[in-house]
């Protein structure tokens, strides 16, 4: 994997870091590819139970590296905008969408500039923690382009459509308080990375079967008709209760001890028993 994105795993938590601090973590082609590779690696590791996504050097990402604009034409002509099977997302969309495809929760620690492509990547995470001095912008209009990194999918249920339009049509920069009010971020913390690590560490102590199943259920269920959503919820519960980690969770509670969970089958949340496509 390219060193523009680093991945380390400790105590069941994967640390994924955008690592171009000298360029304010601007997203170039190598980083687009490396983010997708990082997501694939984590998805294939059953020991990972949570992910912390952050940027090196005090900035999450200043957005697109403008050098990519001169390279994009060749990519478009050669099919670079086509989905990368089995994902429904193309190369650029996967940098954000891959964090929805990862079967475990992803929390994004934001600080400094979180602009354009950087914000779209952050929207792919399950949660976004920012510092009080974080600035955010849907900045694509500045370059005469549209947000095209899965925002139509990731912003659903996160940001209201009118607020999304208000910010996207102008590219206006907003601070953490306004971003929280708009729904772009989940919470504001003095130290967003420390808060993200604390949350991820807590998640890593919970049943990995239940957590993976919940992520899959929430991702798919909110867009289903009511009857299908209820059926998915019931099927998910049956699948979780038939797995060994549920029994271990119950025993640990009764015995007043910390649970000792086994790493799940990495395909658990997409088990056939759940019946619905991911």
Last residue of a domain, one of 203, 224, 249: 203
Same domain, 22 and 124: yes
Same domain flag for 31 and 123 = yes
Mean pLDDT for all residues in the chain? 92
* CA gap 98, 136 in Å, rounded: 21
CB 179 within 8 A of CB 130: yes
117-169 pLDDT, tens digit each = 999 999 999 999 999 999 999 999 998 999 999 999 999 989 999 999 999 99
Q: Please tell me whether residues 199 and 212 are part of one structural domain.
A: no
Residue 224 sits in a domain whose CATH number is 1.10.12.10
Which of 203, 233, 250 terminates a domain? The answer is: 203
Chain centroid to CA 79: how far? 25
Return left, alpha or beta for 156; rule: phi > 0 is left, psi -120 to 50 is alpha, else beta: beta
Taken in order 55, 189, 198, 101, the sign of the CA dihedral is: negative
**Residue 53 belongs to a domain with what CATH number?**
3.90.226.10
Q: At what angle do helices 208-221 and 244-254 cross, to 10 degrees?
A: 120
Indicate whether 214 and 197 sit together in one domain: no
Tell me the whole-structure pTM to 2 decimals: 0.93
Q: Determine the structural domain holding residue 213 and report its residue range.
A: 208-274
Residue 79 is predicted with a pLDDT of 58
User: Of 203, 228, 257, at which residue does a domain stop?
Assistant: 203
If one counts every other C-beta atom within 10 angstroms of the C-beta of residue 49, the result is 27
pLDDT digits (tens, 9 = 90+) for 258-267: 999 999 875 5
């Amino acid at each position: 994997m390219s060193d523009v994105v680093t991945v380390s795993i400790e105590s069941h938590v994967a640390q994924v870091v955008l690592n171009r601090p000298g360029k304010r973590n601007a997203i170039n082609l190598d980083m687009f590819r490396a983010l997708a590779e990082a997501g694939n690696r984590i998805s294939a590791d059953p020991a990972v139970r949570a992910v912390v996504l952050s940027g090196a050097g005090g900035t999450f990402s200043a957005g697109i590296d403008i050098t990519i604009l001169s390279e994009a034409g060749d990519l478009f002509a050669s099919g670079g905008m086509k989905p990368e099977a089995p994902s429904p997302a193309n190369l650029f969309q996967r940098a954000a969408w891959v964090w929805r495809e990862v079967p475990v929760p992803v929390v994004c620690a934001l600080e400094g500039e979180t602009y354009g492509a950087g914000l779209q990547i952050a929207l792919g995470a399950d949660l976004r923690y920012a510092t009080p001095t974080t600035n955010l912008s849907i900045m694509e209009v500045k370059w005469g382009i549209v947000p095209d990194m899965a925002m139509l999918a990731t912003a659903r249920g996160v940001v209201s459509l009118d607020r999304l339009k208000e910010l996207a049509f102008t590219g206006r920069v907003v601070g953490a308080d306004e971003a929280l009010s708009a729904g772009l971020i989940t919470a504001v913390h003095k130290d967003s990375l420390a808060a993200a690590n604390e949350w991820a560490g807590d998640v890593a102590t919970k049943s990995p079967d239940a957590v993976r199943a919940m992520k899959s259920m929430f991702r798919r269920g909110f867009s289903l008709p009511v009857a299908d959503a209820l059926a998915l919820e019931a099927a998910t519960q049956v699948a979780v209760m038939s797995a060994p980690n549920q029994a271990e969770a119950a025993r640990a509670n009764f015995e007043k001890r910390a649970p000792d969970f086994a790493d799940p089958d990495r395909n658990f949340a997409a088990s056939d028993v759940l019946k619905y496509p991911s």
